[in-house]
Amino acid sequence: MHTLTANGAAIPTLGFGTFRMPDADVLRMVPHVLKLGLRHIDTAQIYGNEAAVGDAILASGITRSDVFLTTKVWVDNYRHDAFLHSVDESLSKLRTDYIDLLLLHWPNSSVPLAEQIGALNEVRRAGKVRHIGVSNFTVGLMREAVRLSDAPLVSNQIEYHPYLDQKVVIEAARKAGLAVTAYYAMADGKVFQDETLKDIGACHGKTVAQVVLRWLVQQDGIAALTKTVSETRATENLAIFDFELSAEDMAAIHALAKLTGRIVSPAGLAPSWDVAA
């Protein structure tokens, strides 16, 4: 499996996301993708399926140390004591004694960022977490988090797909040595009707999903999460390292971005987003 390096962490560039995935699908699909060769699994406390993810990894027969496991602390657990307790709960559910990457799931201004980052560092020092990072953080919040952290942050997980220009955040992450992990890569299914993506796929003998995933991982410092409940599509989604998009292909996909392209912006959670120049 291909990996990228960010502030000392080796992160598999293609991961399997479990957002809104019922336990039965997790228990079926996670062992399947691991046996296909994928080595990066992403979940979160709020997804409600950490226990299924833990059971699925165990059932796969793949050695735990060979799996890069990410989970995220929910915003209600950002106070110091609740944070530590929630991480212990996640470890128990995930049936492991360490998490490869622990993220703050969303910004939460009701708890000082210093307290959140301090708790992240504390669980890392305790050996419960190998790497730490953030999710859905703007440039300003990301820079402040980096400044407050004793240990290096390794990733900012953000919405990123062909219709959303995220170059401002991506460039800031690169300068700070962070990877960007892209979620919602298929733009909630919108990509599948896109004629530009269809044409590029036809030229390479690849599906639209393969084109989008390749576009993401072909960018420096970008990891991508894929999600499917179809074994066939999972096999296709992993087959993105045997071709390369041309500079023209990459530019054509970047040109699809729209000012209205953001999909995930929940009230009460979303910060004031950076705007592309």
Enumerate the β-bridge partners of residue 159.
183
The closest of 226, 256, 255, 227 to 241, measured between CA atoms, is: 226
Q: Which one of 47, 78, 160, 184 is the catalytic residue?
A: 47
Q: Are 129 and 87 in contact (CB under 8 A)?
A: yes
Q: Are 219 and 226 in contact (CB under 8 A)?
A: no
The closest of 222, 160, 220, 166 to 191, measured between CA atoms, is: 160
Tokens of 186: 């298929």
The closest of 146, 111, 144, 143 to 132, measured between CA atoms, is: 146
Q: Are 181 and 158 in contact (CB under 8 A)?
A: yes
Query: How distant, in Å, are the alpha carbons of 10, 13, 179, 181, 215 from that of 220?
Result: 14, 10, 9, 11, 10
Tokens of 251: 């530019």
Q: Give 132's contacts (C-beta < 8 A, 6+ positions apart).
A: 101, 102, 103, 120, 121, 124, 149, 151, 153, 154
Signed CA dihedral, 245, 221, 98, 79: sign only = negative
**160 among known catalytic residues:** no
- The phi and psi torsions of 179 (rounded to 5 degrees) equal -80, 160
Please identify every residue annotated as catalytic. Answer: 47
